[in-house]
Amino acid sequence: MAEVIAPENILEEIELSDLLHVVMTKKKEGLRLSQACAAYVDGKYELSYSFADDKTYQLTTLRVVIDVDAKVPSITEIVPQAIFYENEMKELFGVNIEMIALDYNNKLYRIEEEAPFGPKKEENNG
């Protein structure tokens, strides 16, 4: 029977200015981007980028908390498979991600409401 490896998940809170450097470090360590997502919480965005080690099953999540008007650099030049994750964050939440390698310009999903999971327009105006 195979050995079951169940390490603790790691959450690293980082600054937006460190995002590209830390993502590059994770890639150089041989980790694989396993998911990226956004959440709109208490008037801010929480961006999570999870990296998996396929040998140890260790999962490390980078968490970036930003203001809704912050400009986020795309990680797609480092991790090309982030294209769909970043387009989803941009389209469904309204995250301002810049320079996505393949930007679907809010046409990834067929939705009627702009950024349905992000801040509502009345929150931004008042």
Q: How far apart are CA 99 and CA 63, in angstroms?
A: 20
Residue 2's pLDDT is what? 53
Residue 73's pLDDT is what? 98
Nearest in space to 61 (alpha carbons), one of 69, 70, 52:
52
Q: How far apart are CA 89 and CA 122, in angstroms?
A: 20
Structure tokens at 8: 């603790």
Residue 13's pLDDT is what? 98
For residue 8, how far is the Cα from the chain centroid?
21
Residue 41: enclosing H or E segment and its boundaries?
strand 32-41
Q: What is the DSSP letter of 91?
A: I
List, in order of start, the domains of the chain with CATH numbers: 10-109 (3.30.460.80)
pLDDT tens digits, the chain, 126 residues: what are they? 556 566 788 999 999 999 999 999 999 999 999 999 999 999 999 999 999 999 888 999 999 999 999 999 999 999 999 999 999 999 999 999 999 999 999 888 889 889 999 998 766 555
